[in-house]
Chains A and B, each alone.
Chain A
Amino acid sequence: MDADVIIIGAGVVGAALAYGIARKGHKVLVLDGKDRDLRAARANFGLVWVQGKGSGTPAYTDLTVQSSDLWPTFRQELAEAAGSRVDYSRRGGLAFCLSEADYKARAALIDRTHNQRTEGYTEMLERPALERMLPAVTLGNEVVGASYCKLDGHTNPLQLYAALLGAVSALGGQVRFRSPVTSINPVPDGFQVDTPQGNIRARRVIVAAGLATPGLTDPLGLVVPLYAERGQILVTERLAPMLPLPASGLRQTAEGTVMIGATNEKAFDTGVTMQSAIKLARRAQRIIPALGSVRLVRQWSGLRVLSPDKAPIYAESTRHAGLFAAVCHSGVTLAAAHAAIVGPAMAEGRLPQNLAAFSNGRFNVQKCA
């Protein structure tokens, strides 16, 4: 055996799982794909986000809250292990409402997610309260208020990603890029994974290849239903600090740039369109009119990795014990839970009861397949 665990896909999900597994002392090998693969890990918005998550899927709400609570310690340990910086702050987060109707709909959504839990952590703020929270900006006339969740935070997702990869190596794990896996084959005592550079064996295999996951797991009967959704993002030049806390769709980074996004589009390539840039720029200006004078430096897009109910899939093959799939949207938010809970559980070969709700069985995949 070349490793205890092979992880296929060094995105933010695969890297977080690998970090958690390496911390437990297992020998982990991460294989990543080609330079031009889809990489949501390099395209995302950087929110560590709780509010609004998992309405209709209480287990997802719980896992999100749990991960958000783990994040401060996770971040500190990770930065130490990697010896690199991971900007993170948790001062709560906002979702702006640009009309009365918007405000009411938001309040209703928050109620629904809260009804699933005992403790409330998101509140609705009317405009005056919001203005007190954001003293450095003048809000646009249309801003009625916002929902505010004290658990929300944000990070620099690229620093997070680099630190995860660095920490895996520092803890004795291995990351191999440009090693696209062509197939996974069950062998006695484990699996053989084929790549153009040769075959590798391990007792357990976790497929965390984002949208490429089904192509690898479906042939083995581990059916993972996924769909892609494009999100386009704008980023501006550096500004002096003005937004002390992030909002969904608008956040100022530690460097001072402002990120605006992301759209939700049915598209399967990572192209960008002027139409979306116009839409995003208009919305940002409606929230903070002074942003109109700020220069856009870059526009890009990424594909979200979504299951039919938008919650993660953590599943083990029923036919081939030891073969797992781990795919989700919000891999940044969930990174702490992936490192602390999901990764170690998969490495040890058993998913605990409290993750059962994330099995692929919930989609009745036999029929899908």
Chain B
Amino acid sequence: MFRSVLEGSAAAPDMMVVVNGVETPAWNGETVASVLLRVPNAGRISPVSGKPRLPYCQMGVCFDCLAVVDGIASTQGCLVPVKPGMRIDIQRGPREIAR
């Protein structure tokens, strides 16, 4: 749904992150929420209605960007800059906590 203005230019992506186990290019300065908008079907699933959601406000006030970032669940993705090798997993419905 979004692309980087740098994408397609000769420049290689600044780093790779792992979204649901899949290596995905990412650029310096972008956040986890921005990655979620570029990868198809990466949005969270509402724990209330089970409907898909994508980041809405990008400034920390809507909570539609919640994701599991490096193992930490319900992280506001729009406030976390990407880092090389970062693991981003989608949050589907209500959280399961580890046994």
Contacts and interface: CB of A to CB of B under 8 A. Distances in A.
* Chain A directly contacts chain B within the complex, with at least one CB pair under 8 Å: yes
Interface of A: 136-138, 237-240, 242, 256, 290-291, 293-295
Contacts of B95: 237-240, 294
A208 to B, nearest CB: 34
30 contacts: A137-B99, A138-B99, A237-B74, A237-B95, A238-B48, A238-B94, A238-B95, A239-B94, A239-B95, A239-B96, A239-B97, A240-B93, A240-B94, A240-B95, A240-B96, A240-B97, A242-B97, A256-B47, A290-B97, A290-B98, A290-B99, A291-B97, A293-B72, A293-B73, A293-B97, A293-B98, A294-B95, A294-B97, A295-B73, A295-B74
A238 B66 CA distance: 13
A9 to B, nearest CB: 33
A222 to B, nearest CB: 47
B60 to A, nearest CB: 14
Chain B interface secondary structure, helix, strand, loop or mixed?
Answer: loop
Interface residues of B, number: 12
Interface in B57-99: 72-74, 93-99
Contact of A256 (B72, B74, B94, B99): B94
Contacts of A138: 99
A291 B93 CA distance: 17
Q: Which 6 A-B pairs have the closest CB atoms?
A: A238-B94, A238-B47, A290-B97, A256-B94, A240-B96, A240-B94
Nearest to A292: B97
Contacts of B99: 136-138, 290
B4 to A, nearest CB: 31
Contacts of A240: 93-97
Contacts of A237: 47, 74, 95
A33 B31 CA distance: 48
Contacts of B98: 290, 293
Contacts of B97: 239-240, 242, 290-291, 293-294
A138 B95 CA distance: 16
Nearest to A136: B99
Contacts of B73: 293, 295
B68 to A, nearest CB: 10
Contacts of A238: 47-48, 94-95
Contacts of A136: 99
A240 B45 CA distance: 13
Contacts of B96: 239-240
A293 to B, nearest CB: 6
